[in-house]
Amino acid sequence: MLGKSVTGVSQPAADAGWTMILEPRRPWLDLRLRELWHARDLILLFVRRDFVAAYKQTILGPLWFQIQPLLTALTFTVIFGPVARLH
């Protein structure tokens, strides 16, 4: 017999053993886009902060964000091109 707690987590009764079943409080596809829209300034601030923190120490700065995938593709082409015989 499982009892329902206030937090939305089903907790086992004393005789059920160690079984715990987690249940969602809301549906999976409930994205709450209105709340995201109201918090857009905060979200953009966090994204900008993470972006600046990740690329602040590089010499090229934010340009490295675009150069890195190009260099990776070039490296794979040069190294694996002859191995896979891609022309």
pLDDT tens per residue, range 2-61: 555 555 555 555 555 678 888 888 887 888 889 989 999 999 999 999 988 887 777 777
4 vs 12, 16, 40, 71, 87, CA distance in Å? 9, 14, 35, 54, 63
What is the per-residue pLDDT for 65? 80
Check if the beta carbon of residue 60 is closer than 8 Å to that of residue 67: yes
Delimit the domains of the chain by residue range.
1-27, 31-80
